[in-house]
Structure 1
Amino acid sequence: MKKLLGGTLAAAAAMTLVACGTDNNSEVNELGAETAEASNGSEDRSDWPEEFIFGLLPVEDQAELTNRYEPMIEYLEDYLDVDVTLYNATNYTALIEAMANGHLHASTFGPFSYLVAAERANGEPFAIPVSEEGGTEDDIYYTAQMITLDEHGIDSLEDIEGRSLAYADPASTSGHLFPKAMLINEIGLTMDNVDQFPSDVVFSGSHEASLYSVLNGDVEAAGVCSTCIERVFDRVNDHENFDQLNIFHESEPIPGGPYVIQGDLPQSFKDAVQQAFLDMSEDEKGREFLEESGYLGGYFQVDPAVYQVVQDTAEALNLSPEELLE
């Protein structure tokens, strides 16, 4: 299992690569316009919206978020030849309701919130970002990991019995829901007794906080997101207990959160939006946004079928996607 940790560290190092390119911006914009027209299948754009409204969660300072997305807005406006407006919301539920009511055309979503968007707002996944430069469709996945220190002698999920366990946040896919589902599916627990299996269950508030809780000896095990802790390894690898850190169990691959578009929009417009994201790495402004956002591999097309594992996990927890969001 130490090899798993080594592989994770290698992946973290790979994520520091910076995308590059010298394509002429005007030529790419012309290509984008041609591609959008080809996707349209004709010159008639009369049924297209006058502006493209794209939703975001305020996961950081709103001004900083707007600045980071400005190159993407400029790129999309050139590519689609329509105005682009950002729609800031306080949570995924607000984004879903806005999409269902026609106030929002597309947005970023998490794996579970996408299921709700598909159900309530006829949302369709059209693209997904990849962090690693030169990445493939396989890189859209991450995992939920169970971590501990060697000194605790925890080698399997069964060994969690009677031990202290940290989750990140109640709504976290890989920091709570998937780890809990692993306990239910793989060792036969139920929703009635899964929280009593450890001696103590705490919510740390974040994946990084869970990692520190294990390193500092505050808990004996924790469920964390593989990519989330990769990002902080450079800050914790000098911790006195870092060499003891062990990944003792890992979930099946989890697809990352997709970009979702409202399904009732004209097909030609949906095709053009999807192609704009798939072509983003070929444009100067597009690359600027991708680099600042850490999406060094650009975007890939995503099949709704890959989210069946998320649906199965919701069913294992005996909770609807709406309840999971709450």
Structure 2
Amino acid sequence: MLRRVFLAGMAALALGATAAQAEMPKEINFGIISTESTQNLKTQWEPFLADMEKSTGMKVNAFYATDYAGVIEAMRFNKVQVAWYGNASAIQAVDRANGEVFAQKIYADGSRGYYSILIANTASTIKSLQDVINQPGKLTLGNGDPNSTSGYLMPGYYAFAKNNIDVRTFFVSSVSANHGTNLMAVANRQVDIATNNTEDLAKFQTANPDKAKLIREIWRSPLIPSDPLVWRTDLDPQAKEKLKAFLFAYGQPGPDQVHQKQVLDALGEWGGFVASSNDQLLPVRQVSLFKDRIKIDQDANLSESDKKQQLAAIDAQLDELSKKMAEVKTQ
């Protein structure tokens, strides 16, 4: 009799422990990178996060920061459990903040990428990247956040580094700002050129059509994978399943499709979400390493032996990335 009571008690304790382990969090914090003013981001994101809250049963708190690093650090210290990033900032979240890419937004036309661009005012004589290259020491630059893929990393490599432009010395001045600020700075002729991307330019054209008419695209990058969503790897498994179910159904045929499409349009003519992984970051990692390689190769303060050693280390990393990218393509 005592044995049966003991075993029943142990079973009840085990069930209680399992239930406690499986209990979903009552709320999560969702990080949103600073691509423009917080007020604008709130207007765009709050309807979406309200739908997420309703679907998952978890309270969803928006987390805004003044720069990309603020969201990365918040995820690192578990103040943010899920976040929307650009690819460059997602690399930091994966490498430093226990993050994992699990989804990727797609556009309304079904495409899975966008482009980094350089812009100038339509009244400017600057009509191409070559016009920039021809004017060392004469122009001002509105650069992006250092953790921005489209505002910093892609133009930094493809437009500047590949054309032997050292941003620190080539331009009269270079000021970092978010995409919205840089668009307005070019429209108002406060800078000669600025970095940006096709997605934010499209939103700007809708919100500020008169100002948008004053902006000219002068350069476009190769395709950038569309923005990833990242969660902490230690997020509760049930919460992960709830988030995936919500995201992958959002904007798809159903009773709420009209409303959901309106919400996605406000986010930048998004079309919904598809599954993704850390592999989508590989091309951006490669660009980042190439940029580091050029910087080391041009560093006159490094001894030849130190330079050779550092370049060899980067070349080894690039080889590994190339192999990994080839593997992904064959899958």
TM-score w.r.t. structure 2 length? 0.63
Deviations along 1:118-169, one digit per CA (max 9) or x if unpaired, are 112321122233343xx22x33333233546573465526334344142244
Q: Distance in 1 between matches of 2:40 and 2:115?
A: 29
Residue matched to 1:18: none
Higher share in helix: 2
Q: Distance in 1 between matches of 2:71 and 2:37?
A: 16
Cα RMSD (Å) of the superposition? 3.8
The 1:153/1:268 distance shift into structure 2, 3 A limit, reads closer
Which secondary structure state, in structure 2, belongs to the residue aligned with residue 107 of structure 1?
strand
TM-score w.r.t. structure 1 length? 0.64
Residue matched to 2:224: 254
1:142 paired with 2:115, answer yes
Could you tell me whether the CA contact under 8 Å between 1:55 and 1:88 is conserved in 2?
A: yes
Larger radius of gyration between Structure 1 and Structure 2: 2
Which secondary structure state, in structure 1, belongs to the residue aligned with residue 169 of structure 2?
coil
Query: Which among 186, 193, 205 is matched to residue 162 of structure 2?
Result: 186
Q: Distance in 2 between matches of 1:215 and 1:286?
A: 32
**Which has the higher relative contact order, 1 or 2, with Cα contacts under 8 A spaced 6 or more apart?**
1
Deviations along 1:57-88, one digit per CA (max 9) or x if unpaired, are 47655698289525643x434533x3223142
1:305 paired with 2:275, answer no
Q: Distance in 2 between matches of 1:176 and 1:206?
A: 10
1:158 paired with 2:133, answer yes
Could you tell me whether the CA contact under 8 Å between 2:113 and 2:226 is conserved in 1?
A: yes
Residue matched to 2:240: 270
Q: Distance in 2 between matches of 1:64 and 1:148?
A: 25
Q: Distance in 2 between matches of 1:69 and 1:95?
A: 17
Residue matched to 1:84: 59
Residue matched to 2:31: 56
Q: Distance in 1 between matches of 2:227 and 2:136?
A: 32
Question: What letter matches 1:201 in structure 2?
Answer: S
The 1:209/1:296 distance shift into structure 2, 3 A limit, reads closer
| Structure 2: gaps of 5 or more residues | 1-18, 294-331
Residue matched to 1:114: 90
Instruction: Please give the residue correspondences for 1:286-325 in structure 2 after superposition, counting only pairs within 5 Å.
Output: 286-287=260-261, 289-318=263-292
The 1:214/1:55 distance shift into structure 2, 3 A limit, reads closer
| Structure 1: gaps of 5 or more residues | 1-43, 320-326
Count of paired positions: 262
Report % sequence identity.
19
1:65 paired with 2:42, answer yes
Question: What letter matches 2:229 in structure 1?
Answer: Y
Question: What letter matches 1:125 in structure 2?
Answer: V
